[in-house]
Amino acid sequence: MKNTILFCMLLGSAVSAQVNRFFYDYRFIPDSNNKTEVKTEMMLLDIDKNGSNYYSHDKFVADSIGRADLEKQLKAGGGSISVNRREKPGQVSYKVTKEYPDFKTYLFRNISVDKYKIKEDKKPEWNILPDKQKIGEYNAQKATTSFGGREWTAWFTTEIPFQDGPYKFYGLPGLIVKIEDATGSHSMVLAGNKTVKATEAEKETQLPENVKILGLFGKEIEVTKEQFKKAWKAYVNDPTKNMRELMMKNGGDTNSKVAFKVKTADGREFSDPNQVFREMEKRTKESLQKDNNPIEPDLVN
């Protein structure tokens, strides 16, 4: 019965331009020095005839609300625009896209105020094993691969005829329903699926010429993995460099003004640029120390 339902779902998607959405329960340990702290995020894998998109559900919702709020403010006019942090902005900020039929894969990640589109130059090389087990409601088979600086074990099912999976993983004879690295730091398990209507691509929010919002609505810088690693290393060494350059660039422009404010955990607020940058650098370095166990170590080491 499952195969019949899935077949109808796929046939329906071809007729009514629907997307096959798969929900993955992503569990990860961000700090290798504190393995008792396990975080969770619901990730979405949207598949249609052209390819797939893998991204955080919470971040998608937060970005959609933020975009709608910004467009409302722009239509209302006024002298200022407020961009507020959402209550649940999502813990996973990156997304991964794959283009069919050759599975051209891109990772989208931010460094400070810059947005990067990183082309993947390697594909997962799988070792399919005879081991089989039930994962949820699906009969699955075991496969292993070495990818991105980690050893991975995956379980795939031929009952769902997509050779795709979460993050950058693909190329098995069916959908990956579970994948985990050897250290147990990163685990993605299929939690459900449904079909959703394909929507038209969101139009870029048009900002007035004198308004720029850091990290939002800009085009991605397409780079190789080596170029990204170089940019990441520069960021780790000097986390506020891009922000300082932005302020200096706009300092003499009478038509625009860049203003920064930061509030500390104890409620103190800084607006002096030097104090702001010192506080930002302190926060960033503390955050990086606790976020030392990325899903793809080879990309940042």
Give pLDDT tens digits for 123-145: 999 999 999 999 999 999 999 99
Per-residue model confidence (pLDDT) at position 200: 43
Provide the 8-state DSSP code for 86.
Answer: P
pLDDT at 73 over 80: no
CA 280 to CA 264: how far, in whole Å? 10
Mean pLDDT for the chain overall:
80
21 and 192 in contact (C-beta within 8 Å)? no
CA 149 to CA 184: how far, in whole Å? 14
Residue 106, domain extent:
2-224
- CATH number, residue 76: 2.50.20
Rg (CA), the chain: 21
Answer yes or no: is 268 within a domain: no
Task: Select from 218, 237, 222, 188 the least CA-distant residue to 23.
Answer: 188
Please tell me the least confidently modeled range out of 45-49, 124-128, 149-153, 245-249.
245-249
pTM summary value: 0.78
pLDDT at 173 over 50: yes
Number of domains in the chain: 1
Answer yes or no: is 260 within a domain: no
CA 292 to CA 151: how far, in whole Å? 17
Please tell me the least confidently modeled range out of 133-147, 172-186, 189-203.
189-203
- Kindly provide the b/e burial profile for residues 134-147, where b requires at least 16 CB atoms within 10 angstroms of the residue's own CB: ebeebebbbbbbeb
**Burial, 148: exposed, middle or buried (Cβ in 10 Å; 0-12, 13-18, 19+)?**
buried
Answer yes or no: is 125 within a domain: yes
Answer yes or no: is 293 within a domain: no
